[in-house]
Amino acid sequence: MSTAEAVSIETLRTLLAENVMLKTDPAAIGEDTPLFGSEGIGLDSLDALQIIIAVEKRYGITIGDATTARDALQSLGVLRDWITRRLAPAA
């Protein structure tokens, strides 16, 4: 499985649906939809922790601190790009 296949928006939607209590239909969450805040889908800090744990388990990537988590969990597109960069072989 290539990195692009491993980290798709659909895969991340499924990860969200399986790990947090969504108040939104996962299919309605777009690539650029904010995950947190009133303009987003309304996730909270507990949801962030659940997502971090799920990403670490699925992809073997550690999200080590709150700043990294805040940067990576802005939207599904940002999270996909963040994971893809960490899975890419070092050049």
Enumerate domains of the chain plus CATH numbers: 3-87 (1.10.1200.10)
Give the dihedral sign, CA 22/41/59/84.
positive
* pTM reported for the whole predicted model: 0.88
- pLDDT tens per residue, range 73-91: 999 999 999 999 999 876 5
- Give the pLDDT score at 91: 57
Cα of first residue to Cα of last residue in the chain, in angstroms, is: 20
Residue 78 Cα distances to 13, 63, angstroms:
13, 14
28 — pLDDT class (breaks 50, 70, 90)? very high
- Give the pLDDT score at 2: 47
35 — pLDDT class (breaks 50, 70, 90)? very high
Query: Across all residues in the chain, what is the average pLDDT?
Result: 90
> Residue 71 and residue 66: Cα distance in Å, rounded?
9
Q: Residue 35 in contact with residue 76, Cβ under 8 Å?
A: yes
- pLDDT tens per residue, range 2-13: 454 569 999 999
